[in-house]
Amino acid sequence: MARPASNLHLQPKNGGWRARVLVPVELQAKLGKKLFHTPVWRVSKSEAAVLAYPEVQKFEALIENARSGKYCSAIEVETQASARPLVPSFQLRGVRNDARETTFTKLIEEWARKKRINNPQTRGRAVTHFQRLAEFLGHDNGADVTSHDIVRFEKHLETTPDPRTGKLRHPNTVLGYLWSFRGVFTIAVKQILIDTNPMDNVVVGSKIESKRQAYSVEQVTLILTRAQATTDDIFLSLLTEAYTGCRISEIVDCSTLDFNFVRNGDRERVIPGQWFLFIGEDHREPGCTTKGHTTRYAPLHPEVAKRLIPYMEKQVAEHGHGPLFRHLPKDKNGKRSTYVARKIDEWMDGVIKDPNLAPNHSFRHYLKSELLARDVPERISDAITGHKTPGIGRKYEHVPMSKMFDAIGKLPVIRLQAA
């Protein structure tokens, strides 16, 4: 009886087993493949190990010959599949599933399943990226995509204007495409849907750091003073951002039920006479996700509470619980914050026009900077803004709500007209 193959060479596949041997990176160009493998045998693991042993020896001999210079590229290798193969025997060339099983849609579905991608926006972004790739290539078969195809598409993205804006894409936008491709194709290879990862030979750079700066106290005062003369959705959103550092979507897309909401009965969060905003997806409408950001409780400064809470209570009295700004239009994903963010962008041009300032995001820079200037520990300021403090041990720390209220109490008070 032949000696059984090592478990390292056996791989479960379609209800059976096959043997495979990875080709060393330095020999892949010479051998023309990254992987040697047999057809699939529908037998027990122990029987497959016996069948695999001679085939593994052949594969390793080819690799050794290539390493020693004895390899002849004209030699063809065909493995025997006498033990009822699940797929027909063919000349060794790697995985070749039915094209219907390797469409971009199928690969994305498997990636989302394996990585537990529940956020529709994350999944939708991958779908959009692969749709653009399919349009560029003229097909959507993941098994036929090569590294050369990816590089060509990358250059296309870098050199052609985005049809939506008419402008060249930001380098980070192009990186987003490459990250999507790498994530999906990596899972496809590990799940034996495709043989090789076209991203293996593609260099994916690092994200360009933002040049956004923080607002000054004077700029925040100017913004909030003028915003008082605008609509509630603009003023209350900017006011909340200034004192909590929350993202525009975290306030605009929230529910009236998120105010002083305590998840899992954690009553320690409740401080008599104080208001906080729960930032999570428990009460939000479909599509109004928090993009996987940290679920947290954002303390509301008295300057925010005395204006935002009466507005919230009025909405509940008139319409019952639901979206805080229910009258605003939604985008295709169901988010109202897209509309408000656009309104603020346009409105801010008449207040402060500086390319280094982001109308909404600079409030996060402002809050972090002001808290740092007042010696608030980073762990506490991170808990307020939802940033992740480095260090595995930080997962076991829970910042008391009282500490967060103490921190925002140190922020400069922007004097506004009476509410």
> Residues 5-26: pLDDT tens digits?
555 678 887 778 888 888 888 8
Distance CA 160, CA 166 (A): 9
95-114 confidence digits (pLDDT tens): 556 678 899 999 999 999 99
Residue pair 10/50 in contact (Cβ under 8 Å)? The answer is: no
Angle among Cα 374, 380, 384 to the nearest 5 degrees reads 100
Distance CA 231, CA 246 (A): 19
Distance CA 292, CA 237 (A): 21
What count of other Cβ atoms lies within 10 Å of the Cβ of residue 358?
Answer: 18
Residues 92-100: contacts with CB under 8 Å, at least 24 apart: 92/33, 92/36, 92/37, 93/33, 94/33, 94/34, 94/35, 94/37, 94/195, 94/196, 95/35, 95/37, 95/143, 95/192, 95/193, 95/194, 95/195, 96/143, 96/195, 97/143, 97/193, 97/194, 99/141, 99/143
Q: How far is CA 360 from CA 213, 366, 404, in A?
A: 11, 10, 22
Angle among Cα 87, 88, 92 to the nearest 5 degrees reads 100
- Among 83-92, 109-118, 167-176, 403-412, where is mean pLDDT lowest? 83-92
Residue pair 81/37 in contact (Cβ under 8 Å)? The answer is: no
352-401 confidence digits (pLDDT tens): 988 888 888 899 999 999 999 999 999 999 999 988 767 666 667 788 99
pTM over 0.85: no
- Mean pLDDT score across all residues of the chain: 85
Cross-strand bridge partners of residue 85: 41
- Among 73-77, 147-151, 299-303, 365-369, where is mean pLDDT lowest? 73-77
CB-count burial class (<10 Å; 0-12, 13-18, 19+) for 404: buried
Cross-strand bridge partners of residue 37: 20
Distance CA 305, CA 413 (A): 13
Q: How many helices (H) and strands (E) does the chain have?
A: 14, 5
* Confidence at residue 291, expressed as pLDDT on a 0 to 100 scale: 64
Q: Are strands 276-279 and 35-37 parallel, antiparallel or unpaired?
A: unpaired
What count of other Cβ atoms lies within 10 Å of the Cβ of residue 29?
Answer: 9
SS3 140: coil
Two tokens, residue 401? 């709500």
113-157 confidence digits (pLDDT tens): 999 988 777 888 999 999 999 999 999 999 999 999 999 999 999
Q: Average the pLDDT over 181-208 and give the result.
A: 90
Residue pair 67/6 in contact (Cβ under 8 Å)? The answer is: no
Two tokens, residue 277? 């905003």
Where does the pLDDT of residue 311 fall: very low under 50, low under 70, confident under 90, or very high at 90 and above?
A: very high
Distance CA 9, CA 22 (A): 9
- Among 10-19, 233-242, 324-333, 385-394, where is mean pLDDT lowest? 385-394
* 258 Cβ neighbours under 8 A, 6+ residues apart: 277, 278, 279, 280, 282, 283, 284
* Confidence at residue 105, expressed as pLDDT on a 0 to 100 scale: 94
Find which of 35-44, 65-74, 182-191, 269-278 is predicted with most confidence, using mean pLDDT. 182-191
Distance CA 238, CA 251 (A): 9
Reply yes or no on whether the pLDDT at 83 is more than 50.
no
Where does the pLDDT of residue 268 fall: very low under 50, low under 70, confident under 90, or very high at 90 and above?
A: low
Find which of 39-53, 70-84, 118-132, 141-155 is predicted with most confidence, using mean pLDDT. 141-155
The DSSP code sequence of 316-336 is HHHH-SSBTTTTSPP-TTS-S
- CA 100 distance to own-chain centroid: 27
150-165 confidence digits (pLDDT tens): 999 999 999 999 888 8
